[in-house]
């Protein structure tokens, strides 16, 4: 009985650290936006030049939401590089999958990011209709309006910043046919994922598709 209790306590502690990480990342985003008249960065160059390059997968996820670029950009807005990896991600398949992990430089000892940012997952020309859901260079108001206009059912209802997910744990739903077998049902925190929203709040979402 003691071992399961200890395991749960460890998992709870790791999730608490993850929540803290994402809250600090949220503050850094707010600081950055405050310095840029509420406009997001356009660092599609980093999406292409960081180790692994821009790499949309033919399996899940279908684009490249890795957030190494943000770890680099937000260093001047209050984040440290160690915030970009939950301690729970180190020892699970979802945290070490090639689709999840990204070094912030070519240095073999470089820190890594293990979070996803779906709203910065493509490098298309900004005029491409596919970029309606991406936030590069947009004002916060325009980004939210475009996301609402896209009406993507996978995003859910968007009424404002409180509904817009910015950063999230990697997750591999068991219900998606293209998820590789070793990753099916896996995430960083068994049973769900931790999410940072545009308004700065952090929430753990329970999800039966990722029980492991």
Q: Take residue 187 and report the two structure tokens written for it.
A: 């995430």
In a domain, 100, yes or no: yes
For residue 195, pLDDT over 80 is answered with: yes
Strands (E), the chain: 102-103, 112-113, 165-168, 171-172, 186-187, 192-197, 202-206
d(CA 192, CA 30): 26
The pLDDT mean for the chain works out to 94
pLDDT for the residue 12: 74
Q: How many angstroms separate the Cα of 32 from the Cα of each of 41, 52, 115, 166, 192?
A: 9, 26, 19, 14, 29
**pLDDT higher than 60, residue 3:** no
Per-residue pLDDT tens for 29-59?
999 999 999 999 999 999 999 999 999 999 9
Using CA atoms, how far residue 96 sits from 112, 126, 130, 138, 164, in Å, is 10, 31, 28, 31, 26
Mean pLDDT of all residues in 167-185 = 97
Q: With respect to residue 104, please indicate whether it lies within any of the assigned structural domains.
A: yes
Report if residue 211 sits inside a domain.
no
Domain annotation covers residue 26? yes
Q: What are the structure tokens assigned to 148, written together?
A: 């609402």
pTM score, whole prediction: 0.93
Does residue 167 register a pLDDT over 90?
yes
**How many domains would you assign to the chain?**
1
Residue 183, phi then psi, degrees to nearest 5: -105, -10
By the 10 Å C-beta count (0-12 exposed, 13-18 middle, 19+ buried), 12 is classed as: exposed
Could you give the residue ranges of the DSSP H alpha helices within the chain? 2-35, 44-49, 68-73, 93-96, 140-150
- Within a domain: 212: no
126 — pLDDT class (breaks 50, 70, 90)? very high
Could you tell me if residue 85 is inside a domain?
yes
What are the tens digits of pLDDT across the range 55-98?
Answer: 999 999 999 999 999 999 999 998 999 999 999 998 899 999 99
Q: Domain of 78? A: 2-206
For the stretch 151-162, pLDDT in tens is: 999 999 999 999
- Which pLDDT belongs to residue 1? 56
Look at residue 101 and tell me if it is in a domain: yes
Residue at 185 is within a domain:
yes
Residue 9 pLDDT: 65
């Amino acid at each position: 009985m003691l071992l399961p209790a200890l395991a749960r306590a460890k998992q709870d502690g790791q999730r608490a650290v993850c929540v803290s990480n994402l809250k600090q990342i949220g503050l850094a985003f707010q600081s950055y936006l405050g310095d840029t008249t509420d406009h997001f960065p356009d660092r599609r160059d980093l999406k292409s030049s960081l180790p692994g390059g821009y790499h949309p997968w033919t399996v899940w996820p279908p684009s490249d939401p890795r957030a190494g670029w943000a770890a680099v950009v937000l260093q001047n807005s209050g984040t440290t590089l160690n915030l970009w990896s939950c301690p729970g991600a180190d020892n699970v398949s979802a945290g070490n999958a090639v689709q999840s992990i990204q070094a912030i430089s070519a240095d073999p000892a470089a820190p890594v990011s293990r979070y996803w940012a779906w709203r910065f997952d493509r490098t298309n020309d900004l005029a491409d209709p596919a970029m309606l859901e991406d936030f590069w260079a947009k004002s916060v108001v325009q980004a939210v309006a475009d996301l609402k206009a896209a009406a993507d059912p996978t995003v859910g209802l968007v009424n404002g910043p409180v509904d817009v997910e910015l950063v999230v744990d990697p997750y591999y739903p068991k219900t998606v046919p293209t998820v590789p077998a070793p990753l099916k049902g896996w995430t960083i925190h068994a049973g769900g994922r931790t999410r940072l929203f545009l308004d700065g709040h952090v929430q753990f979402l329970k999800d039966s598709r990722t029980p492991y």
